[in-house]
Amino acid sequence: MQINSVSNILLRWYDNNKRDLPIRLTKDPYKIWISEIMLQQTQMKTAIPYYIRWIDKFPTLESVAKSKSDRILKLWEGLGYYRRCLNFHKASKIVIDKYDGRIPSDYESFKALPGVGEYTVGAVLSIAFGVALPAIDGNVNRVMSRFNGIKNLTKRNKDILYNCIVSLFNKSDPGDINQALMEIGALLCVPKNPLCNKCPLSNNCKAFKNGNPELYPTKIKRLPKPHFTVVTAIIWRKEKFYIQKRSQKKMLGGLWEFPGGKVEKGENLKNALIREIEEECHFTPDIIKKATSIVHAYSHFSITMHCYHCREKEKKILDQSSSNWITVNEISKYSFPKANHKIFNFMNKNDWNI
Ligand code: SF4
């Protein structure tokens, strides 16, 4: 295999076939960084509208650093994996304070920022600064596994794939080589029915020559996702209801929610609700009636959430900084998890009245 010619073939293909994506039309390290964070675990078509809105509201890293976390979470609402957003916020403050607003272009300093993993370092530093680092996400892993005819992604084999990308950089722009591999993984070398007849790598691809590219890389068997039953309360105080903010250390940290929690084994729904409200709000609610039930799937588990209208007895809930009483019309000022939005949608279509 002539590395030089493979690099040239890749770059020519990328030049002629790259998608016209707003995310790929910039060399601004800040914009590349936030786009790569948004694209983690998220499809391009989902991330793009979020990216456009984000850049409109926060045109510079400094504007992110100066913003309150509630405001940035509101813009992220619905994109999931909220830790990414909070980490980016923390990292933006570090860059402003420690690096005078200039995103560091060396591996060690950039990798030390919150939320920056191996893939992000490679993507941002190669695209923005031309640093010769591979950016290996799931798509690129699949392309390189097939290209090299390597099924099992052991540590040693991953090193072989990494070094293969490094060799492709040769004298070419590492950012363009990385992006070419990302595009091939997204558009051609898809998990099922890869479009090998359109692929610029087919002449040198071992899995294609073996006639069975779909078998590369070996799939890891995943355990079935657990399912939990959850109860929540819409606790009313006149025309307002109670919401609380999740701790930043928890999953969905920084988002607002109704109080409640998991039903324990053998517990009935109403008893579980009373226990949860007593634990979280330190009072016993009057349960009025069931509001609705929804099912929601998160990445690693799913839930059935049963939601009840409740009433507060004589202003028993202590108002804290991480809680609030809001009207239905104020919901849009806060960021909530998707499961809560399913409840809001149901209530909007039906009735908020007790
Ligand atoms: S030839 Fe087929 S299997 Fe090989 S990299 Fe291209 S799309 Fe993937």
Which residue ranges make up each domain of the chain?
Answer: 3-215, 227-349
Q: Closest by alpha carbon to 117, among 77, 157, 88, 160?
A: 88
Superfamily of segment(s) 3-215: Hypothetical protein; domain 2 (1.10.340.30)
What does the angle CA 79 – CA 84 – CA 87 come to, to the nearest 5 degrees? 145
What is the distance between the alpha carbons of residues 299 and 204, in angstroms, rounded to a whole number? 36
Specify the pLDDT at position 194.
Answer: 98
**174 CB less than 6 Å from ligand 1?**
no
For residue 217, whether the previous peptide bond is cis, meaning omega lies within 30 degrees of 0, is: yes
Specify the pLDDT at position 318.
Answer: 67
Residues of the chain with pLDDT under 70: 1-4, 317-320
**188 CB less than 6 Å from ligand 1?**
yes
Specify the pLDDT at position 220.
Answer: 85
146, 165, 182, 215, best to mutate for ligand 1 pocket (most atoms within 8 Å of CB): 146
**199 CB less than 6 Å from ligand 1?**
yes
**272 CB less than 6 Å from ligand 1?**
no
Specify the pLDDT at position 248.
Answer: 85
Specify whether 36 is catalytic: yes
**216 CB less than 6 Å from ligand 1?**
no
Q: Report the CATH number of the 227-349 domain.
A: 3.90.79.10
Residues 6+ apart with CB under 8 A from 5: none
Ligand 1 atom at minimum distance from 188 CA: 7
Specify the pLDDT at position 171.
Answer: 81
What is the distance between the alpha carbons of residues 309 and 235, in angstroms, rounded to a whole number? 6
Specify the pLDDT at position 141.
Answer: 97
165, 181, 193, 199, best to mutate for ligand 1 pocket (most atoms within 8 Å of CB): 199
Q: Report which residue type is found at 329.
A: N
